[in-house]
Structure 1
Amino acid sequence: MTTLIQKVGRLAVKTFRREPKLSATAFNAHYEQLYNLLNTVTTQDLNLDHQLLYDRGTFNASRDGAPVTYMQLYEDSDVTICVFILKRGVRLPLHDHPGMYGLLKVVYGAVSVQSYSFIDTAVEGKQSGLMGSRPLPGVFPANKHQQLKVCASDPACHLCPGEQNIHEIYSLDGPAAFLDVLSPPYGPDERLGMERDCHYYQEIDSSWTAPQLSDGNRVLLVSIPTPSDFWCDQTDYQGPTIGEDGDEHGS
């Protein structure tokens, strides 16, 4: 019998595979189905060890080890399915997802999600006269979206290649865990002949001004090294094996 998380995994593979590529209509239909299915996933479906969610109070590295635990469920050249577990009061720093789609479903606790979208000043400048307002190298104009509080009872959050592609995630009121579906994965992308790296950012104060958007505020993000308060350990996935239809071997 196919379990819920196996159905999620198989549908994610179908939705995001690049060869053969789905038509736009088929992709949208698969994506919507995946989104709805993902919204029903719980810690029980993942067979998540609740010792990993034990609340020891505010994070203390000498007692708790890494602030974040990573668990990989499945990965191929087109999609990664994983779980992040955040201890009380820790964060996934502000980071990007270059050219990626993503679905984030909280399965335990609550998180705050602050998302941003990069602004292409080269394109926008031709439309709004901003050609003279480009910031310095390593500094990127962005639209800052409304901060969200997301609980296990809430639907999944979206990101896509051009919208809400940069975000920072904090645990709230205790440990939190969320299931991530990302496509394409980070790392080498042989199809495009590129390395898909994760970059970190910080919002900075500035006098850069531009018209405000209806769904957010214009800000500047500066590229920074990996923050020193962020590192991960890893735990093994103990749930049902995920693979394509007819493939129960996973990755």
Structure 2
Amino acid sequence: LPRKHWRKIARQALVTFRNPPRVGEEVGKSFLENHSKLKSLMTEVRATDLKLVPRKADDSSSGVPPHQHGAPPVTYMHICETDQFSMGVFLLKSGASIPLHDHPGMHGIGLGRPTGGTQASPPLPPGQVGALRRSMRRSTGEYTEESGPCVLSPDQDNLHQIDAVDGPTAFMDILAPPYDPDDGRDCHYYRVLTEAEAKSTEQKEKEVWLTEISQPSDFWCGGEPYPGPEVRL
């Protein structure tokens, strides 16, 4: 893609998320139109446009926590960021996962390359680590080179887990506004409990119980330079 296409994506993200609907607010026609334009622009992006080098499998991970080898299971390439949104690329080693986590009060558009699984739930109210919450497993899907963007909002599909299910995985991500713990947008992690753990035998097929947990010890995200075109607004 030409450099101007990347500027179009960034500028469209800026327009789309300048005044996004918040939790419980009605989504207006203008936002929907701009959001659709942004998704359309992102759909044209391919791995070759991101100048990504194929990831090698982590041969040293057989039964040993990745952090003991010093190499992060997930890395992040920063592309650009404003007060309204952040844009970057996550890279997962073969077999790696980004654990079930949330995006408090945030919108997001993700473009998986080449593949990944997603598990989504409605947003959860703030709570303490260990608190038990009932939620709904909305979907599980696999994203490939031909898949369109997956979307989350403050009200829907705000929780998800991303797995590299068939080799190394990369996905481009736009979050609006960016994570900011000082403004109430910190990332929280969750674990799905079994029925026995939840002490319930009346759960429907898609109902699950979640408990907030600390960041898993075998997951952390490193950083690496972005080799693609510089994006200036």
TM-score by length of 2: 0.83
Corresponding residue number in structure 2 for 1:233:
222
Seen in structure 2, the aligned counterparts of structure 1 residues 58 and 153 have a Cα distance that, compared at 3 Å, is: farther
C-alpha distance in 2, partners of 1:110/1:58?
Answer: 22
Q: Structure 1: where are the runs of 5+ without partners?
A: 121-135, 245-251
1:83-106 alpha-carbon deviations (Å, 9 max, x no partner): 100001010001000011111101
Deviations along 1:136-180, whole A, 9 cap, x unmatched? 972222111221111122111111111110011110121000000
- Counterparts of 2:181 and 2:58 in 1: how far apart (Å)? 37
SS class of match (1:110): coil
Q: Which residue identity is paired with 1:113? A: T
Q: Is the 8 A contact 1:115 1:145 kept in 2?
A: yes
Q: CA deviation at 1:211?
A: 7.8
Q: Equivalents in 1 of 2:190, 2:151: separation in Å?
A: 20
In 2, the alpha carbon distance for the partners of 1:210 and 1:185 equals 38
**TM-score normalised to structure 1 length:** 0.77
Does 2:108 align with 1:102? yes
Taking the aligned partners of 2:48 and 2:188, their CA distance within structure 1 comes to 33
* Pair 1:112-2:117 in alignment: yes
Contact 2:190 2:213 in 1 (8 A): yes
Any residues of structure 2 matched to 1:204-219 within 5 Å, and which? 204-205=193-194, 206-208=198-200, 212=204, 217-219=206-208
Structure number with higher strand proportion: 1
Q: Is the contact made by 1:10 and 1:242 (CA closer than 8 Å) also made in structure 2?
A: no
| Contact 1:59 1:90 (8 Å CA) reproduced | no
Inter-CA distance 18–119: structure 2 relative to 1 (3 Å threshold): closer
Q: Which residue of 2 aligns with 1:162?
A: 155
Q: Name which of 191, 194, 199 aligns with 2:188.
A: 199
How far did 1:181 drift? 0.6
2: CA distance, partners of 1:68 / 1:6: 26
The one-letter amino acid paired with 2:141 is L
Bigger Cα Rg = 1
Distance in 2 of aligned mates of 1:164 and 1:210: 24
Tell me which residue corresponds to 1:79: 85
1:25 Cα deviation after fit: 1.9
C-alpha distance in 2, partners of 1:38/1:115? 21
Q: Distance between the aligned counterparts of 1:5 and 1:30, measured in 2?
A: 16
Q: Calculate the aligned-residue CA RMSD, in Å.
A: 2.6
CA apart distance, 1:220: 1.2
Residues 56/208 of structure 1: CA separation in 2 closer, same or farther (3 Å cut):
closer
Supply the AA of the counterpart residue of 2:11. Answer: R
- Decide whether aligned partners of structure 1 residues 166 and 58 sit closer, same or farther in structure 2, where only a CA change above 3 A counts: farther
Matches within 5 A, 1:55-204: 55-57=57-59, 59=61, 61=66, 65-107=71-113, 109-118=114-123, 138-188=131-181, 194-204=183-193
- Asked if 1:44 corresponds to 2:57, the answer is no
Cα distance in structure 2, aligned partners of 1:94 and 1:15? 26
> Aligned with 1:83: secondary structure?
strand
Change (3 A) 1:170 1:137: closer
The answer for the alignment partner of 2:56 in structure 1 is 54
| 8 Å CA contact 2:104, 2:123 repeated in 1 | no
Percent identity over the alignment is 33
Partner amino acid, structure 2, of 1:30? N
Tell me how far 1:243 sits from its aligned partner.
3.0
